[in-house]
Structure 1
Amino acid sequence: MRIALVSDCYLPRLGGIELQVHDLAVHLIRAGHDVTVFTITEGSSVAGGIPVVRLPALAGVPLPAAVDRLHAALRRFDVVHCHSSLVSPLAWHAARLSDNPLLTLHSLPSPSTPWPVAQIDRYVGNVQWTAVSETVARVLQKHLPQRPIGVLHNGVDPAPWRQPRRTDRPLTIVSTMRLARRKRPMAMLPILEQIRSEVPSGVPLRAVLVGDGPQAATVTRAVRRRGLGDWVELPGRLTRFEIQQLYASADVYLAPAELESFGVAALEARCAGLPVVAMASGGVREFVRAGSEGYLVHTDSEMAASTASLLTNAADLSRIQEFNRSTDPVMTWTNVLAQHLAAYSAQRVPAALRTI
């Protein structure tokens, strides 16, 4: 199949959508398909071996020439798969301009902040809505009761995350996120303080918060102000390989975001063998079951208490670590690719019907 993947955000920018769209393109090409990525993110015409069409935009909005070029280009594809966050004008344009497109929502709208999904649905017209998790799909279904909502999960390759374990370090808590308000990096600090107060003082602890973003400077100042600098590390953005090595020397992963649409970083940590302690409100619950792969909590205090309990119960910690290291999640790329190809086959536009 000739497949167009349309995403406002793409490499070299780093983030959940960017990496998932790239990984999807890689796996589709390995399976023998012809794939091109369309984006308004600046960069080269090839990213990691993937052909990329970079369209002109101003302040994140595609220029009229970009829309015209997109319209002409999409006619030659069998499938147009658009990837949307809460604001994705290029993806929405592509969905509107295409015959029978797929539109996947990668973000979880906040119940307290109105999101004009009905207006977006009217704008894009004849589209198959999908979501990266059942959690997001339920929200979409509530707003679009007349639309069938599918689920196209994000994927993971477990093998690279299963690095040899390192034991020459203190008990280590990790979290990887974009340091932005929506991910709640500032909430991590009181959580870590409570963990430290509930774990016996004679037990050395280390915490590593990986990532960069608009709240990076605020988090750095708060760590210093709270006197956490002797055991809380802020290494900034790391490569996948560096994160894999970090997880090999860690014990527990924390996911404090309350509006986590899926949680790729948590899924990767789970594949690395780390128990995941996450908020029950997000998509992480689709691959973390309480007491099996980790724990699902409802408050920051409960997150801290569950983590402290794990760190002070060697048998429980070891049991979950061993289960996660030896058991693949459902969302392996083998399964996720099959899921996508089935959806593409259902949406594929017959050549005889394609606009010329």
Structure 2
Amino acid sequence: MSDCYLPRLGGIEVQVADLVRMQREAGHQVEVATATRGEPLEGVHRVVARMPFDLPVHPRGVGRITRLLTSSRPDVVHVHTGAVSPFAWMGVRAAVRTGLPVVVTVHSMWDPVTRALYRALGLTYEWQRWGLIATTVSTAAAAPIRSVAGRSVPVHVVSNGLDLSGWRGLGPGGSGEGVHIVAVGRLAPRKHPVRLLKALESARRGVPSSIPMRATIVGEGPARGSMERYLAKHGMTGWVSLPGRYTREQIAKLLESADLFVAPAPLESFGIAALEARAAGLPVVARARSGVADFVRHGEEGLLARSSSDLATAMARLSADDDLRARIAAHNHETEPTAGSWASVLAGFDAAYEEAVNRPLRNV
């Protein structure tokens, strides 16, 4: 059960589609219910309302999903949500009403506003007492959910799944022209892209002028205009580039010329691009309280920062210290990442399903 699914290509959509494929290959029978319009796909039920806008909402969603679940009678319902996912939560209510075990996977970090919303919903609907099992993608993402759900809802960490074999050993080859810093992600305010530019500017001041630096920030989004204005105003267009959206093949090629990778968002629930860069061998600079900290240890796979100023200091340190950068890169080349393997992801969800099946449900 997911608000969005293929043909949309966001992070949750791709992750859910990959999970469906891997679970089917493992022998599970998997069907998908989604509010996303699109072409017919085997085992995909598109619960779409006739509305002038394309949003994951349905005025009779609970009833439609209830009828679907009643006819198919799955062993367990696995619901995938972002911060706020109206269709997915309709699926949760329908599944609990039908008496089916439910696992809810939260793919996003709950910020203070989101936590307040779910507390209010808890007072109204008492969702904490529905007998749910929850999973999320990182230790950092689990903490705010537990603070709201309390002890009534078990919250387990099951990371996103990735095939990292194609990323192993790609970098850091370096450009041979100083230090090349790379970031990959949507250029959206919640990812703090302008703060990244400020941190890069500060890092440049902290590195000797004899060391050339350049940065490539891959991605597209609503913050591009603000970033372009900042670069022009602060004279950074000569060494910071915004090439737009890249394919996976283009990103892999870029990492071959990179020296380090930066993931600036403090509310990054997992950090797929950072994990791919770490698998490629790049030292990673990220926020200490983000999901990246599950697979990047400070001083081992990269450097972790507690603030934007710390982020700048970490980038400057790795840019100026060739020995530290080489040591971390060698470690990343020699060791497999501790997150992301599909074997561990499938095992984690299987355990959550079993727990949900054995957990008493309460009708709503």
Q: Please, what TM-score do these two structures have when normalized by structure 1?
A: 0.88
Shift of 1:11: 3.1
Paired AA for residue 233 in structure 1: S
Cα shift readout 1:255-303 (whole Å, capped 9, x = no counterpart): 1111112222211211111111111122211111110011111121211
Q: CA deviation at 1:38?
A: 2.3
Higher strand share: 1
Equivalent residue, structure 1, for 2:47: 55
Distance 1:11 1:237, change over 3 A: farther
Q: CA deviation at 1:198?
A: 1.9
Q: Which amino acid aligns with 1:134?
A: T
In the alignment, structure 1 residue 149 sits paired with structure 2 residue 155: yes
Paired position in structure 2 for 1:3: none
CA RMSD of aligned residues (A): 2.3
Partner of 2:11: 16
Counterpart in the other structure of 1:194: 202
Tell which deviates more after alignment, 185-194 or 150-159: 150-159
Note closer, same or farther for the CA distance 1:11–1:233 as it changes in structure 2 (3 Å cut): farther
Q: Does 1:86 align with 2:83?
A: yes
Counting only pairs closer than 5 Å after superposition, residues 131-210 of structure 1 correspond to structure 2 as: 131-147=136-152, 148-165=154-171, 166-170=173-177, 171-210=179-218
Question: Relative to 1, partners in 2 of residues 1:248 and 1:37: Cα closer, same or farther, differing over 3 Å?
Answer: farther
CA separation in 2, counterparts of 1:45 and 1:207?
42
Other structure's SS at 1:93 match: helix
Separation in 1, partners of 2:303, 2:198? 19
Displacement of 1:95 after TM fit?
A: 0.9
1:8/1:328 CA distance change after superposition, 3 Å: same
User: Which deviates the most, 182-191 or 239-248?
Assistant: 239-248
Unaligned runs of 5+ in 1: 1-5
Tell whether the 8 Å contact from 2:4 to 2:56 is kept in structure 1 after alignment: no
Partner of 1:285: 293
Which SS does the other structure have where 1:161 is aligned? coil
> What is the number of residues matched between the two proteins?
343
Offset, 1:169: 4.6
Whether the aligned pair in 1 keeps the contact of 2:170 and 2:252 (CA below 8 Å) is no
Q: 2:67 aligns with which of 49, 66, 72?
A: 72
Which amino acid is 2:94 matched to?
A: L
Say whether the 8 Å CA contact 2:217–2:243 is kept in structure 1.
yes
Alignment check: 8 A CA contact 2:12 2:107 kept? yes
Q: How does 1:1-356 map to 2 (within 5 A)?
A: 6-46=1-41, 51-57=43-49, 58=51, 60-75=55-70, 76=72, 77-98=74-95, 99-111=100-112, 114-121=115-122, 122=125, 124=127, 125-147=130-152, 148-165=154-171, 166-170=173-177, 171-331=179-339, 332-348=341-357
| Displacement after TM superposition at 1:72 (Å) | 2.2
Assess if the C-alpha contact under 8 Å between 2:175 and 2:258 holds in 1. no
Q: CA deviation at 1:194?
A: 1.4
SS at match of 2:30: strand
The answer on whether the counterparts of 2:105 and 2:134 sit within 8 Å (CA) in structure 1 is: yes
Q: Note closer, same or farther for the CA distance 1:229–1:61 as it changes in structure 2 (3 Å cut).
A: same
Tell me how far apart the structure 2 counterparts of residues 112 and 81 of structure 1 sit (CA, whole Å): 25
Pick closer, same or farther for the CA change 1:211–1:69 going to 2, 3 Å. Answer: same
Paired residue secondary structure (1:108): coil
Contact 1:135 1:261 in 2 (8 A): yes
Within 2, Cα distance between the matches of 1:21 and 1:267?
18
Q: Distance in 2 between matches of 1:330 and 1:81?
A: 25
Once residues 100 and 186 of structure 1 are traced to their aligned partners in structure 2, the CA distance between those partners, rounded to angstroms, is: 43
Whole-Å Cα distance in 2 between the matches of residues 28 and 113 of structure 1?
A: 30
What is the CA-CA distance between 1:312 and the residue it aligns to? 1.6
* In 1, Cα distance between equivalents of 2:7 and 2:195: 29
TM superposition shift of 1:237: 1.6
User: What do the CA deviations read for 1:210-253 (whole angstroms, capped 9, x no partner)?
Assistant: 11122122222322232222111112222222222212221111
Letter in 2 for 1:187: R
Identity %: 42
Q: Are the aligned partners of 1:163 and 1:245 in contact in 2 as well (CA < 8 Å)?
A: no
CA contact (8 A) 1:79 1:349 kept: no
Query: In the TM superposition, what is the alpha-carbon distance from 1:123 to its structure 2 partner?
Result: 6.0
Counterpart AA for 1:141 = R
- 1:130 aligned counterpart, secondary structure: strand
Larger displacement relative to structure 2 (76-85 or 199-208): 199-208
Amino acid at match of 2:356: Q
1:160 counterpart SS class: coil
* 1:92–1:203 distance in 2 versus 1, CA, 3 Å: same
TM superposition shift of 1:119: 4.2
Change (3 A) 1:36 1:213: farther
Helix, strand or coil for the counterpart of 2:337? coil
Conserved? CA contact 2:278–2:284, under 8 Å: yes
